[in-house]
Amino acid sequence: MAVSAVAHMMRITKPQLLALRDKCLSVSDTGASSGCYRLTRLSFANAMLEMNVAYEPDYQIMEKLFVMWDIDGVGWVDPVSVLS
């Protein structure tokens, strides 16, 4: 329900969101120790700019979601579990 509420106030379209997901997966690194994909905050920000998610409030909302997903505060998230 919260996702629906956020989606109504965002300008990002479904195709843009899918393209952002694909871009985030392509720029993710594989962690040598954990073996899972890692999407850093900087890579996420660059992916948003490249996919034209630079408009307010979309950029700010997506950035806040990244902070929420980064539960441990390590500066990266597993994009497969977050964006899929």
Q: Where are the domains of the chain?
A: 2-83
Which H or E run contains 34? none
CATH placement of domain 2-83: 1.10.238
Tell me the per-residue pLDDT of 14-69, one tens digit each, with 9 for 90 and over.
788 888 888 988 888 876 556 678 899 999 999 988 888 777 778 888 888 899 99
Average pLDDT in the 6-13 region? 73
Q: Which amino acid is at 13?
A: T
Q: Residue 6: is its pLDDT beyond 70?
A: no
SS3 25: helix
C-beta separation of 41 from 49 below 8 A: no
Average pLDDT in the 5-20 region? 77
Whole-number Å distance between alpha carbons of 27 and 43: 7
Q: Which amino acid is at 72?
A: D
pLDDT, position 40:
92
Whole-number Å distance between alpha carbons of 22 and 11: 19
